[in-house]
Amino acid sequence: MSSRTVFRRRYGASPLHLLLVLASFALAAYAGVRLLKGDTLGVALWFVGAALLHDLVLLPLYAVTDRAAQRLFGRREGGVGEAQPRPSVNYVRVPLFVSGLLLLVWWPLVLRQVGHYTAVTGLPADRFLGRWLLITAALLVASAATLLARRWHASGPRRRAARDRRRARNATK
C-alpha cells in the first residue's frame, strides 16, 4: 500500500488539502495577532457580542424563516416515512442568503447610519437602501426564473408523452 493511500485513509483527504488547511490556520492566526495588537478588549467584546447576537437572535430568526419557507413550498414524504424538504426551497434560501450577506457587509450604508462615506463612494447615503432592495428583487427574480426553467425542462418528457397520447387518440378517430 502506498504512503499516499495510507495518508488518505488516515487523514481522509489529500496532502494538498492538509496543506491548504494549515495555510488558512496560519493566515487566521496572523490576522488574529494583528487584530488583537490594538484594542484587545474591544475586539474580544465584539466577538462575544457577535456570537451572542448570532446564537440568541439571528439563528432562531432564520430557523423560523426557513421553516416557513419549507411549509410554503410543501414537504414530500421521505423513504422511511419522514417528511423531507423540497429542493425548491433552495430557490428562496440562496437569494435571501446573498441578500442578507450584502446587508451584513453594507448595513451602515443601507440603513443610513453614516454620512461620511459620501466622499469615498461618490454617492449620497440615501441611494444604498434602494439599490440593495433592487439587488434583492433581482436575485429573487433570477432565482424564480431559474426554478421555472428547470421545472419546464424537467416536465419535457411528460409534455411529449401527453402530446403523443393526444396524437394517437386523434389518429384513431
**Tens of pLDDT, residues 41-88:** 888 888 899 999 989 998 999 889 888 878 877 665 555 556 666 778
pLDDT of residue 85: 61
Give residue for cell 433552495. 90
Q: Could you tell me which residue, 102 or 76, shows the higher pLDDT?
A: 102
Q: Yes or no: say if 100 and 65 are a contact pair by the CB < 8 Å rule.
A: no
Q: Could you tell me which residue, 99 or 161, shows the higher pLDDT?
A: 99
Q: What percent of the chain has pLDDT over 90?
A: 27
pLDDT of residue 79: 56
Contacts of 103 (CB under 8 A, 6+ apart): 110, 132
pLDDT of residue 80: 59
Q: Could you tell me which residue, 158 or 94, shows the higher pLDDT?
A: 94
Handedness of CA 147, 142, 62, 43 (dihedral sign): positive
- Residue 9, C-alpha cell as written in the block: 485513509
Query: Residue 8 above 80 pLDDT?
Result: no
Q: Yes or no: say if 69 and 92 are a contact pair by the CB < 8 Å rule.
A: yes
Average pLDDT (11-18) is 83
Using DSSP, state whether 77 is helix, strand or coil: strand
Q: How far apart are CA 70 and CA 89, in angstroms?
A: 6
Query: Whole-prediction pTM value?
Result: 0.59
Query: Residue 124 above 60 pLDDT?
Result: yes
Task: Render pLDDT for 15-25 as a digit per residue (tens, 0 to 9).
Answer: 888 899 999 99
pLDDT of residue 134: 97
